[in-house]
Amino acid sequence: MQIGSYVLPNNVFVAPMAGVTDRPFRQLCRGFGAGYAVSEMVTSRKDLWHTLKTSRRADHTGEPGPIAVQIAGTDAEMMAEAAVYNVDRGAQIIDINMGCPAKKVCNKWAGSALMQDEPLALGIIEAVVAACAPHGVPVTLKMRTGWCAREKNAVRIARAAEALGVQMITVHGRTREQGYKGSAEYETIAAVKAAVRVPVVANGDIDSPAKAQAVLAATGADAVMIGRAAQGRPWILREVAHYLATGELLAPPLVLEVCRALLVHLQDHYTLYGEYTGVRSARKHIGWMVRGLVGGEELRARINELEDADAQWRAVSDYLQALAQSHERWPHAIALKTPANEVETPREL
């Protein structure tokens, strides 16, 4: 699996998720076997580049390459400038967001809504590819199957995007209108794969090794991308990669391995966000990880009350050390998906 000149270790990717796939989470996922991790979206609005939120999103210190940054916006020139801004800050691949139900900005809808306005969508792609070409930076596209059930234009956009120089296309098997409701469908992803020569990545509702294999078989896609199923269970990435490579199921991780990884993850959080925000933003990751485990709900309730990093870190460490006394391997927990109404609608575009 290759994007431009970047050869990836496997074809199992973690999906960009605003508010989730920050640098610490991307590194956690890479450590648990993700072949590729794209950043949370970065706004194309220049006036927001210097906000703490955006500058943290453009910080790639210590991140293993290739560093891929997703940009979002509604104006071709601004998107081209945003691409160069991020390339100057270390981005090696630029991904254009046409997949996320983002909010309205400047009287235009961004993200997957761009699929409704093909000339605008293609204008953005053309401008971003032209801006990245002198830097030798490949441009990729993430989109949905279309605007609504009657307007599934993913194949048309994919063909045009390829002609404009896009080097990989990810398709989430839902329309924009669907949001996160219903089930992802894979026929449209298969049609996109059949229509282009660049690598195609299948995304949507992949939550097990068997599902990943079935989606690859149904679509002919080159890779799978996993979002919500990696929340609190980042090792699903290596489980899927192992299964695709060998046909065998990997044993769950050792509790002590998860313990080490989560404690490092928490420290990364505190370092990136500072104590106040870091403690708060780490809560969801801890909650996801212990959901369904004995004592997990009590830990989650306790964590929500703790405000200092030391106390949070220690509470998690004590819980996981105790778990390791009774379980060598990670116990089966409730599979979790972010409910549709909890998916973050990005505020900054």
Q: Which residues bind ligand FMN (CB under 6 A)?
A: 15-20, 40-41, 70, 97, 99-100, 142, 172, 203-206, 226-229, 338, 343-344
Residue with the shortest CB distance to ligand FMN: 227
- On whether the CB atoms of residues 122 and 160 are closer than 8 A, the answer is yes
Would you tell me how many other CB atoms lie within 10 Å of the CB of residue 220?
14
Asked if 123 and 98 touch (Cβ cutoff 8 Å), the reply is: no
> Quick one: CA dihedral 172, 175, 181, 184, positive or negative?
negative
Q: How far is the CB of 118 from ligand FMN (least distance, A)?
A: 18
Q: Please give the full DSSP string across 58-78, using - where no structure is assigned.
A: T--TTPPSSPEEEEE-S-HHH
CB of residue 322 vs ligand FMN: minimum separation in angstroms? 30
Cβ atoms of 270 and 307 within 8 Å: the answer is: no
Phi, psi values for residue 17, rounded to 5°: -140, 115
3-state secondary structure of 312: helix
What CA–CA distance (Å, rounded) separates 14 from 208?
13
Pick between residue 66 and residue 99 the one whose CB is nearest to ligand FMN. Answer: 99
Cβ nearer to ligand FMN, comparing 95 with 126: 95
* Rg of the chain (C-alpha set): 20
Q: Using CA atoms, how far apart are residues 79 and 121, in angstroms rounded to an integer?
A: 11
Q: Which of 100, 106, 132, 148 is catalytic?
A: 100
β-bridge partners, 160: none
What is the nearest approach in angstroms of ligand FMN to the Cβ of residue 70?
A: 6
Write down the least CB distance from residue 338 to ligand FMN, Å.
Answer: 4
- The least distance separating ligand FMN from the CB of residue 145, rounded to whole angstroms, comes to 11
100 in active site: yes
Residues annotated as part of the active site = 100
